[in-house]
Each structure stands twice: as structure tokens, then as C-alpha cells.
Amino acid sequence: MDCGYTGKIDMEHKENILRAIGLHVMTKRMHMLQQLREGLDIYGFSQVMQAKKSAAVCLSPETTSRYVDSHYITSHLAPEMSERGCNKYHKETQILEHFQDLLHELEDATSEDITTVPSVMQWITGHAHRHLLSDCQNFKITVKFDHDCHKMPNHTICYPTVSACTDTIKFPVAHMSDYGSFKNVMTTAIKYGAGFDRA
Ligand SMILES: [Zn+2]
């Protein structure tokens, strides 16, 4: 009756009752959403949200897409950097740039490529989709850097390790000094992912 239904209440009128409730809920929500949109339009924000959907995804209550793009990953990175300005810091910054470049490259890649942005997400976190809105703000990928593997004698290659339980990735700095080697090491690690996991 709160929804404006005034007819008989019995099983025979079930459809009519449900329709009245549905309509009531819809019109109320539509009005609220319309008002929200008008509010956003004051600063042209709804156009910005439409143009930059991935940036707005954590803000938008209307989010339905759970597809992971490069921005979703990079915007949730929480790198543990060395002291600003030192040599290690410089190398770490470069690796983060390489990582970003690689994600962009994967995003533009053709469908035949095995490694995709969602597969990177899957490899690091154990799942290939976005978090639900409630978890979105708390989600972060901890990025660590291993500067010490060169102390291990007689080895030519190390791969990044991931811990899906804690959403952590650790890059072996010594083996990814330029983009080519970074990409090579990363794609190999992702391809044979399970073998390099450290739970
Ligand atoms: Zn190494």
C-alpha cells in the first residue's frame, strides 16, 4: 500500500502487486539517479566520467564492469621504495615505468597473445577481475624490489615472485635494467606463473 497499490491483496493479484512495487522502486530510484546526474553535470563531471570510465570506476556507484585494465592495476600499486634520490630509488622508478609500459603494451595487443592485462592481475592476485566496490579502495598491490640477488653466485636469471595471498610482487632489479629484459622476464614468469609462486 505504501507503493500506491490499492487493489485486492491475494495470490491472484500477485502480478499486479509486484508491478506496483517495481514501478514505485524504479521511479524513486530513477529520480534520485537523475538528480545525481544533474548534480554531476554542474561541473561537467558526468562527461568526464563517461570519457574516462576506468578512472571513475572506484567512484561510481553504477559500476558493473569488472574487467581489469592497465589503469586499474597501476592505480593500486603500493611500491616500497628506497630513499628518494639514491641509486636504488632510480632503478625502482625505472622498473615501475617499465611495468606501466608493459601493461599498456598488453592492452593494445592482439587477441592471439597469451599474456593479457587480466592475466597479469590473475598472476599477482590470484583472480582476474576487479574488486567489488566495497573492497576496491582497500585493494593494493605491494611492490617490493630485490637488489641483492647478485650476491648469489653463478646465476644468470631470476624471476619476479608473487604472493597472491598478500597481493605482493617482488622484482629482481638486477635482471631488468632495460625494457627489453624487463618484458622478457615478466612474460616468461607470467606464462609459467605457477612455478614461480611463493605462497
Ligand atoms: Zn638474480
**Backbone phi and psi for residue 174, each to the nearest 5 degrees, phi listed first:** -65, -20
CA of 91 to the centre of ligand 1 (A): 15
Cα separation, 5 vs 23, in Å, equals 10
Cα-Cα end-to-end distance for the chain: 56
| Average pLDDT along the chain | 84
**Backbone phi and psi for residue 62, each to the nearest 5 degrees, phi listed first:** -90, 5
pLDDT at 198 over 60: no
Q: What is the pTM of this model?
A: 0.65
CA of 73 to the centre of ligand 1 (A): 25
**Residue-level pLDDT at 197:** 45
CA of 30 to the centre of ligand 1 (A): 58
Cα separation, 94 vs 179, in Å, equals 9
The C-alpha cell 576506468 sits at 54
Cα separation, 37 vs 48, in Å, equals 12
Helix axes 87-108, 179-191, angle to 10 degrees: 60
CA of 161 to the centre of ligand 1 (A): 12
Which is higher by pLDDT, 140 or 196?
Answer: 140
User: How far is CA 50 from its chain centroid?
Assistant: 18
Position 182 confidence tier, pLDDT thresholds 50, 70, 90 = very high
CA of 151 to the centre of ligand 1 (A): 8
Show the cell assigned to 199.
Answer: 605462497
**Backbone phi and psi for residue 3, each to the nearest 5 degrees, phi listed first:** -90, 10
